[in-house]
Structure 1
Amino acid sequence: MSMLIEEGRTEAMAAARFAGPTLQLIRGAVAENLRRMRTGGPVMAVVKADGYGHGALAVASAAVDAGAEWLGVTDVAEGAVLRGGGIEAPILAWLHPAGIDVVAAVRNRIDVAVGSVDELAELIDDAGVAGLVDEGARVRVHLHLDTGMARGGCPVRDWDRMLQLARRGRDAGLLRIVGVMGHLPQADLADPRANVPWVMRLQHARDTALRAGLAPLIAHLGATSAALSDPSTRFDLVRVGAGLVGIDPSRTVELAPAGRFTAPVVHSAEVDAGTPVGYGGAHVADRRTRISVLGVGYADGIPRELSREACVEIGGRRHRVIGRVSMDQIVVDTGDASFPRGSVATVFGPGGIAPTVQEWGDWAGTIPHTIVTGIGARVARTVA
């Protein structure tokens, strides 16, 4: 008898469980987007910020399988994770929020970008202390020029000093100068005229580097928007990050959505007209209606400030988000439809009915990049 009771309890517990919040990467969409941007030449698939929130290793693997020649990351540590996951493609790290670990860079075959004379001098010193010459190893370096952002990169006035120092590091057997790079400040305008000064600046910088005896060099400047709208920015390589997951910052090209963010219904109820909903009663029901509570909130990446248009998809229809976004929950007005616990709501995803990441960016008064990179760690990542 006790065994039957225990079996019944186990079945009831299993029935009460359902899938929690999940962000699913759609590999086929990554491949489709990459194919679209590879038409003009080689692509560096940028997977920083954990693959724009979708899982760095999963996005990198999908991109490499679809033909990406390079991968881009924030720092050497991120690159090392990709190497540990079996990725063999060339990797470039260029932001270095904690500095550059030269030993880890060499050990993991990760190129590094350097954007100032001081940074390059420190890199050379570190490489010398590490004894890389004795091991016959060199740090592979891309020289980063400031091409109009003033956010990083070597100022033009220091470029000649940068090249002289790079030659000394190379001649000492510590460095291998691999490339020159920059960033475009206005590529999101999708107007090639806005890119002309910066394209010319990088061309001049590469020519100067070649005359200084630093050859051969890979030049790269453009990212997703430029890759889609301005062939002159492609040089030898384009760096594509947001575009991999279906975001075109210029909003001129419709790419394939590569993420599906879902959350379960954890509570449903019927409320009367005049019922306040959520903290502060910020929403008051204007009629008798049904509501569903989803197990996802601002701790999971749902923006706290949303316009009244914000919605999710449940049961093949869009339903409006009402009341304040809580840390762990949002409330949805489902009208005359009732959804049991465990029903799946799509926060964003492909398919035409589900909201898009771009819509969520608009509803929150931000860019879609903020939405995908803000998805919290307790949201499970899967791959389709």
Structure 2
Amino acid sequence: MTTANTTGPAALTRGARAEATVDLAALRDNLAALRARTGGPAVMAVVKADAYGHGAVRCAREAVAAGIDWLGTATPEEALALRAAGIGPDQARVLCWLWTPDGPWRQALRAAVDISVSGLWALDELLAAVRETGVPGRVHLKADTGLGRNGCQPHDWPDLVAAALRAQAEGLIEVVGIWSHFAAADEPGHPSIQAQLDSFAEALAFAERSGARPEVRHLANSPATLLLPQSHYDLVRPGLAMYGLSPVPDVGGPADFGLRPVMSLTARLALVKTVPGGHGVSYGHHYTTPGPTTLGLVPVGYADGVPRHASNTGPVQIGGTWYRVAGRVAMDQFVVDLGGDLPEVGEEVLLFGPGERGEPTAEDWGRACGTLSYEIITRIGGRVPRRYVGGAAE
């Protein structure tokens, strides 16, 4: 057990089983810190995956209110949802980069969504939609500079660039962006970093020699935004860092980069009981009480996004004291061994927060589960209501 000097965050909403509190003031402060760190380049607020679990529309509106005029999404549905929520092209450009055949190209064109293209098949489908709708497309050509995921391979790049520029000459599209994505920017000194910087420079130079005049050239994700100024070009795309978590925890924590975690996850004790030594706890009895003790029941589980890998490891704070998950995390609940302590039923259980009050952080949970803080925050499910505080957009 670890004891803190304070009692945790603001109280749960009355009657709530669990709640994720999203500090929109911290979000704005993080964006300001990232803009100050990068200087000239524009900042794209990446709000894919429901803004990493924080709520895409609310976070996007907050980013726009803070002066951010680029938003990043993975799927077309995410991009269209932002437009449907009233975030118009006069407020922010929205880039969508994960397309599949027969996607909603027409809807995206009509909604003035910027479209990433990684291959000729996508360009062909987009051009068909442009001809049908009469709406020219804003295109970002993506180069695979070494990640081996989405993006156009170097040997196919000349054909894609040539086809895109032909379509531009016909007035069908405008090539407004050239971009790529790092594989290991979170590992300082990794040999792939310089290789990708060089590959991107070559892809960009070829496109520009061919006649492309992109509005934005962009490569930097969160770790590159923080650590690789040579990758910043015209636009940086912070995701995790925007939400106040460090993408390079071995280099520095959030405070080292002027960031504050935005989300706190809190639940309420549903039961406290005394049990004898040798008592099995939860499915499979993978934890057995070492002696007479008290157990606390926390009414969230893997259906709420608490990782099953947190079994016997996940940290929580109750009344200023740290405890660990005892036994298996179940679908709707887990147990902590309170070691004889007797908190009241209904007392708050802080799973993670900024850490400013001594509570566990998402990074602590990531380490306990053998995963990343990215996964911890993005997996918090829809059964957990979001409570927004500190907002300026509305």
Give the TM-score normalised by the residue count of structure 2. 0.88
Partner of residue 60, structure 1? 60
Q: Could you report, residue by residue, the CA deviation over 1:236-278 in whole angstroms, capped at 9, with x for unpaired residues? A: 0011111111222221232211100111111111112222211
- 1:207 shift after superposition: 2.1
- Corresponding residue to 2:24 among 9, 17, 27: 27
- 1:364 shift after superposition: 0.9
CA distance in 2, matches of 1:92, 1:233: 19
Q: Which moved more, 1:205-214 or 1:216-225?
A: 205-214
Partner of residue 336, structure 1? 340
**Long gaps (5+) in structure 1:** 1-16
Q: Could you report, residue by residue, the CA deviation over 1:261-306 in whole angstroms, capped at 9, with x for unpaired residues? A: 1111111111122222112222111122211101100111111123
Secondary structure, in 3 states, of the residue corresponding to 2:224? helix
Check the 8 A contact 1:18/1:342 in 2, yes or no. no
1:378 corresponds to 2:355 = no
Partner amino acid for 1:319?
Y
CA distance in 2, matches of 1:103, 1:310: 46
Partner of residue 273, structure 2? 269
Secondary structure, in 3 states, of the residue corresponding to 2:61? helix
Partner amino acid for 1:76?
P
Check the 8 A contact 1:19/1:342 in 2, yes or no. no
**Long gaps (5+) in structure 2:** 1-13, 255-259, 390-394
Give the 5 Å matches for 1:189-204: 189-191=187-189, 194-204=192-202
Pick closer, same or farther for the CA change 1:42–1:191 going to 2, 3 Å: farther
Give the 5 Å matches for 1:249-260: 249-251=247-249, 252-255=251-254, 256-260=260-264
Give the 5 Å matches for 1:168-183: 168-183=166-181
Give the TM-score normalised by the residue count of structure 1. 0.90
Secondary structure, in 3 states, of the residue corresponding to 1:340? coil
Runs of at least 4 residues of structure 1 off by over 4 A?
A: none
Higher helix share: 1
Identity %: 36
- 1:98 shift after superposition: 6.2
Partner amino acid for 1:376?
G
Q: Which moved more, 1:42-51 or 1:350-359?
A: 350-359
Give the 5 Å matches for 1:45-194: 45-87=45-87, 88-97=91-100, 99-128=102-131, 130-132=132-134, 137-191=135-189, 194=192
Partner of residue 3, structure 1? none
Secondary structure, in 3 states, of the residue corresponding to 1:290? strand
Partner amino acid for 2:133?
G
Secondary structure, in 3 states, of the residue corresponding to 2:269? strand
Secondary structure, in 3 states, of the residue corresponding to 1:156? coil
- 1:115 shift after superposition: 0.4
- Corresponding residue to 2:222 among 213, 221, 224: 224
Pick closer, same or farther for the CA change 1:254–1:61 going to 2, 3 Å: farther
- 1:70 shift after superposition: 0.7
- 1:75 shift after superposition: 2.1
1:369 corresponds to 2:369 = no
Instruction: Work out which of the two has the higher radius of gyration on C-alpha atoms and give 1 or 2.
Output: 1
Pick closer, same or farther for the CA change 1:192–1:365 going to 2, 3 Å: closer
Q: For the aligned residues, what is the CA RMSD?
A: 1.8
CA distance in 1, matches of 2:285, 2:314: 18
Secondary structure, in 3 states, of the residue corresponding to 2:297? strand
CA distance in 2, matches of 1:78, 1:145: 22
Check the 8 A contact 2:311/2:328 in 1, yes or no. no
Secondary structure, in 3 states, of the residue corresponding to 1:25? strand
